[in-house]
Amino acid sequence: MKIVGPIAGIGSRLRPFTLSKPKAFMRVAGKTVLDHILTKFLNTFDHSTELILIVGYKKHQIIDYIEKHYSDKFQLTFIEQTPRGYRDDIPYYWGLGEAVYLSHKKFEEKEISSPDENKREGCLIFLGDMILLDEYSYLLYRYYESDVDGIITVMKVPKEAASSYGIVDVDENNIITKMVEKPKTFISNLAIAGIYAFSYTTTQALFQNLKKRLDQRNEQTKEIYLTESLQYLIDSGHKIAAVELKKGILDFGKPSALLKGNKYLLEHQTVTSNNFKSRNITIDKSLIKNYVHIGKNSTIKNSVISNYVSIGKDCYIENSIIENCVIERNTHLKNIITNNSIIGSQVYIENMSKSNVIIGDKCTM
């Protein structure tokens, strides 16, 4: 099975942070979002697995980082998604549908001799701003042991929020009968949760439909969604099951979700004073409460770092009270009181008392 990761997008909802880095490189609980995703794969897939990343925005950052840290863990392939155009020098793309289609060149045409081979030669698709909390072994068990052509993860959402998601409707056996992207009328409360696994023949049928839709596009065409081609698969008789996640998924697509995901990840990792010593962290006359991550070579002086704070490496914080915040690398904060805030890398701020702030990289205040 090949793993396909479309990570070309600019992450507009995470501006201003994504002005200097791709959205998958936002750091929470000591790692980039992409690190959290790929580390989860290592529990299920071995180094012979091909990881196909569809890159675009800040592609060189992604390629250099992944080659440095994961070349011994996966067989790496990078495919560029060409921008549709530019707005104020910022690229925009044809969407998830095109990104998935671009991986087709890595799926050679072949004769399939058995149902088992059909499933083994298929693909798993993940999204670069979502971290799965369940183990992939649980999903793949459902995929391999069920009489289906594919699975799509789903999660229950409040009825009033359903119009913001891709939504599925299912029969009594959890086989998907209908999929709609951001439905205007209520269909169900089962939202697509961003992980897909398809057999080889279903993957090829998906590519064929995506190509047809891509060939028909023009300047008035909106971005190519994946959901419409998945509905085509269902209408064509492909049996795709909805697998409801036991633990759920963390969505890092917008700032409020970033803080929520940071909180969850911190609650599920253990940090002790011994960790501080091994990371060359200096804590001077400061109170550090539970559920905190502090990066290497950082210094905390005369401060209170309370629950759910992620601090990147090489940071300096003095005379400050900070709670429920994400602070990226190489940042200097002095005389700061804040909570529910996100502060980028290489930021220098003094004398601020304000909550719910978003400060991008390389800002000085």
The answer to whether residues 327 and 312 touch, using CB atoms and an 8 Å cutoff, is yes
Q: What is the pLDDT of residue 289?
A: 84
Q: What is the pLDDT of residue 318?
A: 96
Residue 150 φ then ψ, to 5°: 180, 170
Q: What is the pLDDT of residue 181?
A: 84
Q: What is the pLDDT of residue 271?
A: 59
- How many whole angstroms separate alpha carbon 328 and alpha carbon 333? 11
Question: pLDDT tens digits, residue range 87-129?
Answer: 877 787 888 999 999 999 999 888 999 999 999 999 999 998 8
Q: What is the pLDDT of residue 273?
A: 57
User: Residue 212: which H helix or E strand, with range?
Assistant: helix 200-215
In this structure, the number of other CB atoms found within 10 A of the CB of residue 274 comes to 8
Q: CATH top-level class for 2-260?
A: alpha beta
Question: pLDDT tens digits, residue range 145-173?
Answer: 999 999 999 999 899 888 888 899 999 99
Q: What is the pLDDT of residue 253?
A: 75
For the chain (365 residues), the mean pLDDT of every run of 10, in chain order, is: 92 75 85 92 92 94 95 96 83 88 93 92 92 90 94 92 89 93 89 93 96 88 86 95 90 82 85 71 90 93 93 95 94 96 94 92 88
CATH code of the domain made up of 270-359: 2.160.10.10
Q: What is the pLDDT of residue 239?
A: 96
The answer to whether residues 211 and 132 touch, using CB atoms and an 8 Å cutoff, is no
Residue 57's alpha-carbon distances to 9, 20, 78, 86, in angstroms, are 6, 10, 13, 11
Q: What is the pLDDT of residue 248?
A: 84
**Domains of the chain, residue spans:** 2-260, 270-359
Q: What is the pLDDT of residue 122?
A: 95
